[in-house]
Chains A and B, each alone.
Chain A
Amino acid sequence: MLSELKARLRAESCEEYLCRLFERIEKSSLNAFTTLAKESALNAARQFDKNPGQGLLAGVPIAIKESISTKGIETNCSSRILRGYIPPYDAHVIERLKAEGAIIVGKTNMDEFAMGTSTETSCFGPTKNPWDQACVPGGSSGGSAAVVAGGEAPCSLGSDTGGSVRCPASFCGIVGLKPTYGLVSRYGLVAYANSLEQIGPLTHTVEDTALLMEVISGHDERDSTSAEGARHSYLPGLKDGICGLKIGIPREYFGEGVNKDVEKAVWEAIHTLESLGASWQEVSLPHTRYALAAYYVIAMSEASSNLARFDGLRYGSRQEEDKDWHTTFSAIRAKGFGPEVKRRIMLGTYALSAGYYGRYYLKALQVRTLIKGDFMRAFHEVDILASPTMPIPAFKIGERINDPLSLYMADVFTVPINLAGVPAISVPCGFVGHLPIGLQLIGPHFSEAAVLRAAQAFEAATSFHEAKPEVI
């Protein structure tokens, strides 16, 4: 719990705590950190020990996904093409974290440009799941989830384009929130699919997530999609309970394709919520089966444009000898991007091409509208929705990497949430064998307070979040 850690840091020494943390990180076999910011972190810790200050996160170490711009710390999206790029500016969320006294310990591994569900497409190699090092930690924010689950950082930030925070949270047995689109500024988040993604926290407890949300949410004029209005507060009322809460169980999120043990654990979780005073009813999100296709068309189309700027001319790696412009930048991109990124750029380019735009991109936008409509209708009947976060527990490293379609299928319950732009949280709700699984709670736009309250009630009634993997 961050509140306990904060008290401990004040009572003891932040510098010593950080030294022990870095020792643990350096010995780790998880391959979860990619870049460490040891010097600046220890400097900040010494500063804290002298004068701890009043920041909401004063002295709290935090790990940051490779795709979030950090001034002076390499930000490479786990891609060869961005190796060596040291940003001259901080993302909005980093500014907020620093303003509240948090200490950035390093950057975490991810699927290259957030394109993946397993953190296996990283140019640094796969991150391992702290619960079973033969398994993936989920993705794309796999590094951010593994460092928290593995005790290498008390909390972290990830980004969620189609489940990239919730999936690794589920696979690693921790809490992960995908906020409402527009609640957290994307300024400084390297774009994969800009109409879908949000930065979100990964923590051990719901309260910690609420605390981080207090810090990182709120309007930022540098992001035109950032919602106007006052900063929200999530800690007051967090423990008010869920008496009378109406929970919808989307029929399409259960049954075929869902691991039986996962389904069982999620139903048990629903009954737990019921025992806490909530009621449940089945609802339908009829367009769910079109979500994956629409999601991938939109995400890949946007990605094909978002990733066009990586030509090696202004930043990042450039080993090519200069020839004419087209030859040079083509060679740089051919070498710099991995196969999954190339696949998505090519598919996205195709989907946006003259003659195909209407058939793919426009169609996908229409489906997106229908899916949003599904959620809006469901939220007329119920307050929140509950489902499995992932239909399966973590799989073995290498098991699916050569079968992109089966990997895409695993996102089936997370991508509709990004298409609709609503918030969703994953909280630990049990195990399949020794591997953790997550319960997904989904709310209407800007209902983070209600979603967090429900997650908090569930967490308080269960002990799954207390289980820790045995990692070296």
Chain B
Amino acid sequence: MEDVIIGLEIHVQLNRLQSKMFCGCSTAYHDSLPNSHTCPVCLGLPGSLPVINRKAVEYGIKVGLALNCTIEEETLFYRKNYYYPDLPKGFQISQYDYPLATKGHIMILGDDGAERNIRINRAHMEEDPGRLVHAGTIDKAKYTMVDYNRCGMPLLEVVTEPDLCSPKEARVFLDKLKSILDYLDVFDGTQEGSMRIDANISLKGGDRSEVKNITGFKGVEKALSYEITRQKNLQRRNIKVVQETRHFDELRNITVSIRSKVGAHDYRYFPECDLAVMRIASWVPAIRAALPELPDVKRERFVKQYGLADDHAKSLTSEIKLANFYEAVAAQASPKLVAVWIADVLKGELNYRDLSIGSFQEEHMAEIVQMLEQSKISEDGAVQIIRTLLDRIGIGGSPGEIVRELGLCKAEDDAVQKAVREAVAESAAAVADYKAGSERALNFVVGLVMKKTRGKADAGEVHRLVKEEVDKA
């Protein structure tokens, strides 16, 4: 698919912040009544003035550094002028020249399996507009309501160069970006609408279309796949792809044209004189020093330090909490075995139940792996313990208790030995048949042992022990 060119603009709400971009209103508006998280500033009331949330700029710099960007010496805000009911001032305070961060890059695993460098054009700060709530679907609504709770939320817009070659790569890039934001603790992806993506896509030699305001990563992949098919069909029929803005209809999985780029908006950007120029260069060293270990570095360390397979290391470092969970458990049990059980088993069970790693206790995981190491439980038993713990969230119980309760303890060796001796003594006929040359006759004895140990013994092991006992006699 090397003939596909994709660039992304990602709007990230810095929703780990306590207050909005230019006023003191709380960012925790998701469960509140419409228009209850507002003040004269974010409502744009006449005479109100914005004040920069310095913490938001710090967060922006943090992200810029993590994306390997250059942080500008000075940064300033501009007004982006356009009329829309969700924009109470008639302009959005954004950035234009001198954005916070420029010229960065991150590495992703490309479709061909090789590492690919995706360049970041810039990252800049702006305020989120309000939210329109249509009575019905967007094209048939009789009226529209506006909720300004979201208005003024701190947004970071990350703009990539057109370096992505397929919808899948776009998805991989977004996963990587999300992982970095998660590490920096600036973004909570579980909040509705906290990340919105505009995707630019063209086929080599053709004009590009821009699919605006896609909310999910799956949506991005689907919208881009649809666009490739649509643009290829047009090319095949010798119809020119027009440069335009399109909307992704999530229900129908298609994109529809919303406005032509011809006669595009002139946003009349000019500096926002109500805010001073910020000299941020001096902030950088302290922010850089406080940056956490980022996913790529952590992954390499996991491979080296714990001897993990690369895919395990990658899986365990996708989220910071998961990585921390792993390290805490690995300190108490075999790191390799712990990696297998978290990456291959626990993660799947959590996903299946739509739970996060926070739902499982480190001590429990450590206890389970320790019991496996000591052959106290079987692998099937371990899986059963994990499932039971997850089913009983809020009820309690430890792995040890569950082992006793469900009788998952592997039979003790001497108990098996005893059962073997008894079974051999009780099966004179079968032993005779075996001695007469019928190998299969031992299966009767093994069955008897299994019965005596109520299935807790390992059948292969029992077979070996029975053979040993009979041959000895």
Which A residues lie at the B interface, using CB under 8 A? 67-69, 75, 77, 82, 85, 87-89, 91, 186-191, 194-195, 221-225, 301-302, 304-305, 307-311, 313-315, 322, 325-326, 329, 349, 352-354, 357, 361
Name B264's closest neighbour in chain A (CB-CB): A354
Contact call A302/B273, Cβ cutoff below 8 A: yes
What's the dominant secondary structure at chain A's contact region? loop
**B397 within 8 A of partner (CB):** no
Q: Are A88 and B40 interface neighbours, CB within 8 A?
A: yes
Question: A311-B83, A314-B43 are contacts. A354–B266 as well, Cβ < 8 Å?
Answer: yes
Task: Say whether, besides A305-B91, A325-B85, A68 and B47 are in contact (CB < 8 Å).
Answer: yes
Interface string of B60-93 (1 = CB under 8 A from A): 0000000000000000000101011100111100
Number of interface residues of B (CB under 8 A): 29
How many Å lie between the Cα of A392 and that of B278 in the bound state?
43
A281–B459 CA distance with the chains assembled, in angstroms: 113
A187-B48, A309-B44 known; 10 new pairs, CB 8 Å cut-off, are A82-B46, A87-B40, A187-B47, A189-B47, A195-B273, A301-B270, A302-B273, A310-B46, A322-B143, A361-B270
- Contact A194-B47, Cβ < 8 Å, known A305-B81, A305-B268: no
Query: In the assembled complex, how far is the CB of residue B227 from the closest CB belonging to chain A, in whole angstroms?
Result: 28
The answer to whether B79 and A309 touch across the interface, beta carbons within 8 angstroms, is no
24 of the cross-chain contacts (CB-CB < 8 Å) are: A69-B47, A87-B40, A88-B40, A186-B47, A187-B47, A191-B46, A223-B49, A224-B275, A305-B91, A305-B268, A307-B90, A309-B89, A309-B90, A310-B46, A310-B90, A311-B83, A313-B85, A314-B43, A326-B83, A329-B85, A352-B268, A353-B268, A354-B268, A361-B270
Instruction: Tell me if A187 and B49 are in contact (CB < 8 A).
Output: yes
Most buried by B among A189, A191, A194, A308: A308
**Are A309 and B49 within 8 A (Cβ)?**
no
Could you give, for residues 132-163 of chain B, a 1 whenever the CB lies within 8 Å of some chain A CB and a 0 otherwise?
00000000000100100000000000000000
CA distance A186 to B44 in the complex (A): 14
Partner of A224, one of B40, B51, B81, B91: B51
With contact pairs A194-B273, A224-B274, A314-B88 given, residues A352 and B47 touching in the complex (Cβ less than 8 Å) = no
Contacts A222-B51, A352-B270; A190 near B46 (Cβ below 8 A): yes
Known: A87-B46, A88-B40. A308 touches B83 (CB 8 A): yes
In contact, A305 and B46 (Cβ under 8 angstroms): no
CB of B34 within 8 Å of the partner chain: no
The residues of B with any CB-CB pair to A shorter than 8 Å are 40, 43-52, 79, 81, 83-85, 88-91, 143, 146, 266, 268, 270, 273-276
Docked CA distance A130–B44 (Å):
37
Q: Which residues of B contact A314 (CB under 8 A)?
A: 43-45, 88
Contact A225 B274 (CB under 8 A): yes
One of B49, B85, B143 near A186 (C-beta < 8 A): B49
Contact in complex: B51, A225 (CB < 8 Å): no
Q: Which residues of A contact B268 (CB under 8 A)?
A: 304-305, 349, 352-354, 357
Q: Which residues of A contact B89 (CB under 8 A)?
A: 308-309
What is the bound-complex CA distance between A24 and B209, given in angstroms? 68
A77, B88: Cβ atoms closer than 8 Å: no
B89 to chain A, nearest CB (A): 5
Q: How far is the CB of B299 from chain A (nearest CB, A)?
A: 42
B49 touches A305 (CB 8 A): no
C-alpha gap A221/B52 in the complex (Å) = 10
Q: How far is the CB of B403 from chain A (nearest CB, A)?
A: 61
Pick the residue among B50, B51, B81 that contacts A308 (CB under 8 A).
Answer: B81
List the B side residues contacting A194 at CB < 8 Å. 273-274
Inside 8 A of B50's CB, which chain A residues have their CB? 224
Q: How far is the CB of B123 from chain A (nearest CB, A)?
A: 22
Question: How close is B68's CB to chain A, nearest CB, in angstroms?
Answer: 31
- The 10 lowest CB-CB distance pairs between A and B, nearest first, are A308-B90, A195-B273, A352-B268, A69-B47, A190-B46, A188-B47, A309-B90, A190-B47, A309-B89, A354-B266
The smallest C-beta distance from B98 to any residue of chain A, in angstroms, reads 15
Question: Chain B's nearest CB lies how many Å from the CB of A80?
Answer: 14
The answer for the CA separation of A85 and B48 in the assembled complex, in Å, is: 14
Taking the closest CB of chain B, its distance from the CB of A182, in whole angstroms, is 10
Q: How far is the CA of A349 from the CA of B146 in the complex (A)?
A: 27
